[in-house]
């Protein structure tokens, strides 16, 4: 309303006149000056709002970083490295590796999680935060991986806005004693399992993304790792990153990087992969969050 008034004042003539029985009277009123002043006030208010919003976003980013691990935990039998790059100030990607509580007589297991909330920026970041809280809560219960995934899907369905805010996720439970990875892929990019021989396997067993169907049924897959095997878990921002020619980075290029650095550590491999992605993309703006989690069996 005030913007419309300011524009109206800017286009009005600065001279007002009226006629009476004694003659015509004129008065000069600089309406354009007042319109300009009002426009300046509106611009100052807009700038102030943007400064406050930027500060709030920075605080939100700091909080989000607290929810994500900075360093991978020590896990027997494997080395781990991970990295994430938000497309905006805050992101909708999530990753974590943490131990699950186990009975005194049982060997400890570790939960590996990578998830991607549909959308970007603040709405996706808020849903990611609730996803993290729910996962940590449910993981502390003595439930199987299927029960854990079912609970996560049920929660996601109650907050998905009729499926608009769905979440793709890869959840796995690693048993160091047997080097077994039990996993469920909920509509996520299929992780790559590179065997020492060079054979590539895709971990595709699972079901629908979280938040689409309340009674979705999930299948469980399992693989056994051997020394030298690599498990590469990413979000779609990696393979769908585009360069100036609008060409996608693609899975094949990622596989070639993993093959070339199979004898290195996960931290070194991660640096190589991100550097290669940067060279490929060049100056093209990042359009999606990028997350990569690497596990090497030793």
At 111-144, the pLDDT tens digits run 999 999 887 667 777 788 888 889 999 998 888 9
- The Cα–Cα gap between 61 and 89 comes to 6
Residues 29 and 84 in one domain: no
Residues 47 and 88 in one domain: no
Range with lowest mean pLDDT among 14-28, 38-52, 117-131: 14-28
| 107 confidence band (pLDDT: 50, 70, 90) | confident
Question: Is residue 181 within 8 Å of 222, Cβ to Cβ?
Answer: yes
Residues 95 and 45 in one domain: no
Residues 86 and 43 in one domain: no
Identify the CATH number of the domain in which residue 210 sits.
Answer: 3.60.40.10
Residues 10 and 114 in one domain: no
Which residue pairs from 24-32 have beta carbons closer than 8 angstroms and sit at least 24 positions apart in sequence? none
Summarize the chain as % helix, strand, coil (round to 5).
35, 30, 35
Residues 250 and 293 in one domain: yes
Question: Is residue 127 within 8 Å of 118, Cβ to Cβ?
Answer: no
- Computed on alpha carbons and rounded to an integer, the radius of gyration of the chain in Å comes to 27
**The model's pTM:** 0.79
Spell out the residues 6+ positions from residue 67 whose beta carbon is closer than 8 angstroms to its own. 94, 128, 129, 132
Residues 75 and 23 in one domain: no
Over range 148-169, report the average pLDDT: 83
Residues 107 and 12 in one domain: no
- The Cα–Cα gap between 136 and 114 comes to 13
Residues 125 and 254 in one domain: yes
Residues 186 and 256 in one domain: yes
| 287 confidence band (pLDDT: 50, 70, 90) | confident
Report the domain count for the chain. 2
Residues 52 and 195 in one domain: no
Q: Which two tokens stand for residue 149?
A: 């995934």
pLDDT of the residue at 15: 53
Enclosing domain of residue 146:
69-297
| 3 confidence band (pLDDT: 50, 70, 90) | low
């Amino acid at each position: 309303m005030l913007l419309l008034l300011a524009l109206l004042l800017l286009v009005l003539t600065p001279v007002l006149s009226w006629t009476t029985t004694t003659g015509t009277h004129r008065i000069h009123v600089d309406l354009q000056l007042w319109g300009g002043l009002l426009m300046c006030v509106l611009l100052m208010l807009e700038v102030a709002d943007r400064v406050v919003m930027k500060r709030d976003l920075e605080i939100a980013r700091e909080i989000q970083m607290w929810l994500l691990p900075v360093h991978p935990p020590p896990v027997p039998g494997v080395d781990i490295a991970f990295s994430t790059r938000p497309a905006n100030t805050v992101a909708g990607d999530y990753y974590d590796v943490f131990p699950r509580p186990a009975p005194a007589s049982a060997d400890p297991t570790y939960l590996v999680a990578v998830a991607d909330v549909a959308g970007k920026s603040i709405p996706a970041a808020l849903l990611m935060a609730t996803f993290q809280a729910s996962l940590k809560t449910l993981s502390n219960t003595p439930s199987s991986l299927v029960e854990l995934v079912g609970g996560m899907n049920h929660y996601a369905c109650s907050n998905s806005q009729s499926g608009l805010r769905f979440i793709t996720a890869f959840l796995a439970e690693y048993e160091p004693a047997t080097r077994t990875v039990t996993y469920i892929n909920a509509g996520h990019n299929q992780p790559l399992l590179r065997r020492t021989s060079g054979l590539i396997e895709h971990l595709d067993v699972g079901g629908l993304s979280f938040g689409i169907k309340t009674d979705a049924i999930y299948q469980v897959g399992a693989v056994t790792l051997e020394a030298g095997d690599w498990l590469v878990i990413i979000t779609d921002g990696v393979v769908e990153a585009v360069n100036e020619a609008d060409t996608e980075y693609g899975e094949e290029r990622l596989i070639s990087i993993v093959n070339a650095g199979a004898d290195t550590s996960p931290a070194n491999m991660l640096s190589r992969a991100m550097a290669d992605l940067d060279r490929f993309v060049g100056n093209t703006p990042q359009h999606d969050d990028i997350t990569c989690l690497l596990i090497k069996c030793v």
